[in-house]
Structure 1
Amino acid sequence: MATTTPSLNQTIQDVFNEPGCGKNQAKSEKERKKGCTKQLQPGGAAGGCAFDGAKIALQPITDVAHLVHGPIACEGNSWDNRGAKSSGARTYRTGFTTDMDENSIVFGGEKKLYKSIREIVEKYDPPAIFVYQTCVPAMIGDDIDAVCKAASEKFGTPCIPIQSPGFVGPKNLGNKLAGEALLRHVIGTQEPEYTTPYDINIIGEYNLAGELWQVKPLLDELGIRILSCISGDAKYKEVAWSHRAKAAMMVCSKAMINVARKMEERYDIPFFEGSFYGIEDMSDSLREIARLLVERGADAELIDRTEAVITREEARAWAAIEPYRQRLSGKKVLLITGGVKSWSVVAALQEAGMEIVGTSVKKSTREDKEKIKKIMGDDAHMYDDLTPREMYRMLRKAEADIMLSGGRSQFIALKASMPWLDINQERHAAYAGYHGMVELVQEIDRSLSNPVWQEVRRPAPWAGEEASWQDRAIGESADMPREPTAPAKAA
């Protein structure tokens, strides 16, 4: 463990000055110091705070005890909000919290934190304990770094402080603060039993609904070993020895670009940004993994074997998709997501013959937006902030046949009596890899062809010739003053 720990402010400034972020580097020095966003106020960051971002980034490490130092609601609201799967350990499914109350706030919560760590060690004996700082203990001055250091020495179990109080910023900042904690306290602290020229890291992949398992069999067939996935279906020791990989793939740059760049800087691990969504993007990712490994000493035959696997899997995927393409061709999709999905899912949907009438880019980087333009053309309909009213209008007026989004937007589609499919982190279906692309097409076709939509759109027998309540709502909203939908800003 590091002997000197930078302050939280120093860590945040370091993250804000990330050289790997193109958007950040396009700013002036003055703008860069301000950071990427206005800091949130304590108590006003529910559902999108730095703590939440740190927790969802690290909780997929399955054998670790994740201890939230704060009021019980912090753990209650953040537990299991990302459906990451595990092939082994289940410790990550247990919620641990110090449950700070009024006495803890008045007298401090450090003793309670220490006792909680001791209890976890005695009852569960995990390989490590991740301790998350939240707003309340941060404001009263609890020193979780000191407590973690003392507990680690006393119990012989690594206790990793995650400095991520919610009010310092949004989820995306929390992702990076989690990455900084791994870099400072975990990565490089253990050595693997052996290494091979075919060892890779996958960074920013969380095994949502088991998506990593749709990709791993192909890598296994090629002889490529996932030395560490940060953090989907990962074990603590795998993250600790991830510095011995030969190459890395970064799946979500918005979350952990700092981890990928600093591992390249410190351990000479080259990385690229790729996607497992869509047939073409999946193939490109396999090719790039093979190319990087060959450059680092793997057998050149890996390139030919990779091409053979790609040819076989693409043929299977296209054959499976073909029956659906006729029904889906020309269907219009409204995509409300962000980050890497804003371009990777666009490519996947276009492969199925569908038309994207709009995609949100609120959480997307400049590179994400450029990729959307490359895929959809310069007239791509990108929105920084598509209002619920505008989503409803587009669906109700049939400007889109289906909406793909997270769970918070589903009620807009249901109100408009239009199909909706969950594409966000809470979903229970896996869409990665070649098989995942087929699954995505099948799910979209199933949603569009469901006869329930014809029934819910049919006027009630007693309605007569009057306009439906949906049409009345459209008319009322048209008469109301409203702000224009914000187009995507040039980064």
Structure 2
Amino acid sequence: MSSLRAKIQDVFNEPACEQNRGKDAKARKKGCSKPLTPGAAAGGCAFDGAKIVLQPITDVAHLIHAPLACEGNSWDNRGAASSGPTLWRTSFTTDLTELDVVMGQGERKLFKAIREIKEAYGPPAIFVYPTCVTALIGDDINAVCKRAAEKFGLPVVPVNAPGFVGSKNLGNKLAGEALLEHVIGTVEPDDAGPYDINILGEFNLSGEFWLVKPLLDRLGIRVRACIPGDARYFDIACAHRARAAMMVCSTALINLARKMEQRWDIPFFEGSFYGITDTSEALRQISQLLVKKGADPEILGRTEALIEEEEAIAWKKLAAYRPRLEGKRVLLNTGGVKSWSVVHALMEIGIEIVGTSVKKSTFEDKERIKQILKDDNHMFQQMAPRELYAMLSEHKADIMLSGGRTQFIALKAKTPWLDINQERQHPYAGYDGMVELVRQIDLAIHNPIWRQVREPAPWDCQPEVREQLPRTKSETATLHAVQEFAGTTADDLGEC
């Protein structure tokens, strides 16, 4: 437990975070997470955050050492996609019971579970996650994992991020610490080259990274490791031999990027693959970093040629949507890297941003928003559901882009809504992803259902007296029959 406490303090004192550098020593020890409000939902625990970061490593067995509910509440919580192994979608848990806790059988049961996974699936590695229960009863996860690794001849990685230690974001960083301590640098590749890079904080949601990787392939740039999206254990173990790195989500893995730069001299930058301009800029910066690390400068020219070609294709496709979307107002209720990258992407085609959430955004994210929007009046830290509903019902936005938890606010306000969080069904990264994002916004805004649901309901319409048009004999007979049955007269029948 003392080693876990030391790791947490180390994560809190993150020198790569500009906001953290501005704090005094006492404030740094408190970390970036705000204290929880009594009675309010925490929004995810440290275990949940660690599992989010590591589960997309597709060929690894992820074993939860805890009662069954811990695994049930965290399994498959992001729409990451795999191009190969499916072991990561198999749920493993020691399923501790009250009797196991009372009788002290936790460590024995964990060792047995590791052996069963090794024999049944033969994975390249097993990741073990303790949770609140097993951490509180004092199971020595590190000792069990070390003994199992020696006994069974495969890496068994302890991921010490029990839920009670902090927020989901803290769990993200503790997962990065586990990779640094037990995985990265443990295997030496025999094919290292001058065009190898790492992509950090990319989760391959809905297969988004597959829209970007072909661009890098065309430039001759190899992704040594994408952490964690569609990753393989061997690739991550060899990630220390990359020449450069791109950080996609600094909120999650900034500590991993910084320490890899310190240990293995892998320079990194933070960028985004959302939007045409940001995608082009990311490709440029990757090429520039590689040249600084010894790659042939001719890659800079090839990068510009690729950008020019892809931008021309994307703008041609987007031209059809501009007349339909220019001037439309969007409310973004998300956070993190999407708080600024999506803003920039939408403004490129003339869409107006009426508000963007910065609840999960870093200091750098907020500074980018200010530069893009030219002010901070459209930024909000947190907006209560009541305020969101009021804003949408008063037609201050034509569509809301958010996660699934707030979709019903938009639906109640009879406002179009599009999911852009981890549960989304469409990839929005890269040039093709930007076209798809705009297409989905256009489909949502111009869906004829919204015109229908905004019309008054039939029972809200006031009947009015109107002059009757000539009817056929059959129509008159039918009308009289209805009137007689309902006890009404012709004057009572009106229409909206």
TM-score, scaled relative to structure 2:
0.91
- Give the match's secondary structure for 1:204: strand
After TM superposition, give the deviation of residue 40 of structure 1 in Å.
Answer: 6.6
Counterpart amino acid of residue 314 in structure 1? E
Q: Which residue of 1 aligns with 2:143?
A: 146
2:226 equivalent to 1:229:
yes
After TM superposition, give the deviation of residue 103 of structure 1 in Å.
Answer: 1.1
- Of the three residues 434, 455, 458, the one matched with 1:461 is 458
Q: Which residue of 2 aligns with 1:421?
A: 418
Pair 33,149 (structure 1): closer, same or farther in 2 beyond 3 Å: same
Q: Which residue of 2 aligns with 1:210?
A: 207
**Cα distance in 2 between the residues matched to 1:156 and 1:238:** 19
After TM superposition, give the deviation of residue 182 of structure 1 in Å.
Answer: 0.2
**Does the 8 A contact of 1:66 with 1:130 survive in 2?**
yes
**Does the 8 A contact of 2:36 with 2:42 survive in 1?**
no
Q: Which residue of 2 aligns with 1:37?
A: 33
**Does the 8 A contact of 1:66 with 1:95 survive in 2?**
yes
Q: Which residue of 1 aligns with 2:476?
A: none
Counterpart amino acid of residue 218 in structure 2? E
- Give the match's secondary structure for 1:310: helix
2:298 equivalent to 1:301:
yes
Counterpart amino acid of residue 146 in structure 1? A
After TM superposition, give the deviation of residue 459 of structure 1 in Å.
Answer: 1.1
**Cα distance in 1 between the residues matched to 2:261 and 2:255:** 10
**Cα distance in 2 between the residues matched to 1:349 and 1:98:** 46
**Cα distance in 2 between the residues matched to 1:291 and 1:390:** 45
2:329 equivalent to 1:332:
yes
What are the residue-to-residue correspondences of 1:419-458 with 2, within 5 Å? 419-458=416-455
After TM superposition, give the deviation of residue 46 of structure 1 in Å.
Answer: 6.5
Q: Which residue of 1 aligns with 2:481?
A: none
Pair 386,465 (structure 1): closer, same or farther in 2 beyond 3 Å: farther
Q: Which residue of 1 aligns with 2:56?
A: 60
Q: Which residue of 2 aligns with 1:240?
A: 237
Q: Which residue of 2 aligns with 1:122?
A: 119
2:73 equivalent to 1:77:
yes
**Cα distance in 1 between the residues matched to 2:48 and 2:415:** 31
Counterpart amino acid of residue 333 in structure 2? I
What are the residue-to-residue correspondences of 1:285-434 with 2, within 5 Å? 285-434=282-431
Identity within the alignment, %: 68
**Cα distance in 2 between the residues matched to 1:309 and 1:278:** 16
Counterpart amino acid of residue 111 in structure 1? R
**Does the 8 A contact of 1:336 with 1:404 survive in 2?**
yes
**Does the 8 A contact of 1:17 with 1:24 survive in 2?**
yes
Q: Which residue of 2 aligns with 1:96?
A: 92
Pair 110,120 (structure 1): closer, same or farther in 2 beyond 3 Å: same
Q: Which residue of 1 aligns with 2:44?
A: 48
- Give the match's secondary structure for 1:138: helix
2:16 equivalent to 1:20:
yes
- CA-to-aligned-CA distance 1:317-364 (integer Å, 9 cap, x gap): 000001101110011001011111100000011112111100110100
Which has the greater radius of gyration? 2
What are the residue-to-residue correspondences of 1:178-189 with 2, within 5 Å? 178-189=175-186
**Cα distance in 2 between the residues matched to 1:254 and 1:310:** 28
Counterpart amino acid of residue 193 in structure 2? T
- CA-to-aligned-CA distance 1:222-280 (integer Å, 9 cap, x gap): 00000011111110000000000000000000000000000000000000000000000
After TM superposition, give the deviation of residue 437 of structure 1 in Å.
Answer: 0.1
**Cα distance in 2 between the residues matched to 1:60 and 1:227:** 16
**Does the 8 A contact of 1:131 with 1:159 survive in 2?**
yes
Counterpart amino acid of residue 370 in structure 1? E
**Cα distance in 2 between the residues matched to 1:173 and 1:318:** 39
Q: Where in structure 2 are there 5+ consecutive unaligned residues? A: 464-496
After TM superposition, give the deviation of residue 38 of structure 1 in Å.
Answer: 5.4
After TM superposition, give the deviation of residue 107 of structure 1 in Å.
Answer: 2.3
After TM superposition, give the deviation of residue 28 of structure 1 in Å.
Answer: 1.0
**Cα distance in 2 between the residues matched to 1:406 and 1:104:** 39
Q: Which residue of 2 aligns with 1:161?
A: 158
**Does the 8 A contact of 2:369 with 2:376 survive in 1?**
no
After TM superposition, give the deviation of residue 198 of structure 1 in Å.
Answer: 0.3
Pair 381,46 (structure 1): closer, same or farther in 2 beyond 3 Å: closer
**Cα distance in 2 between the residues matched to 1:45 and 1:359:** 22
Counterpart amino acid of residue 344 in structure 2? A
**Does the 8 A contact of 1:45 with 1:170 survive in 2?**
no
Q: Where in structure 1 are there 5+ consecutive unaligned residues? A: 467-491
**Cα distance in 2 between the residues matched to 1:69 and 1:215:** 36
Q: Which residue of 1 aligns with 2:108?
A: 111
**Cα distance in 2 between the residues matched to 1:82 and 1:431:** 15
- Give the match's secondary structure for 1:323: coil
Pair 458,324 (structure 1): closer, same or farther in 2 beyond 3 Å: same
Q: Return structure 1 stretches of 4+ with deviation > 4 angstroms.
A: 38-47
Counterpart amino acid of residue 122 in structure 1? E
Give the number of equivalent residue pairs: 462
TM-score, scaled relative to structure 1:
0.92
**Cα distance in 2 between the residues matched to 1:146 and 1:354:** 56
Counterpart amino acid of residue 104 in structure 1? D
After TM superposition, give the deviation of residue 49 of structure 1 in Å.
Answer: 0.5
Q: Compute the RMSD of aligned alpha carbons.
A: 1.7
Counterpart amino acid of residue 238 in structure 2? W
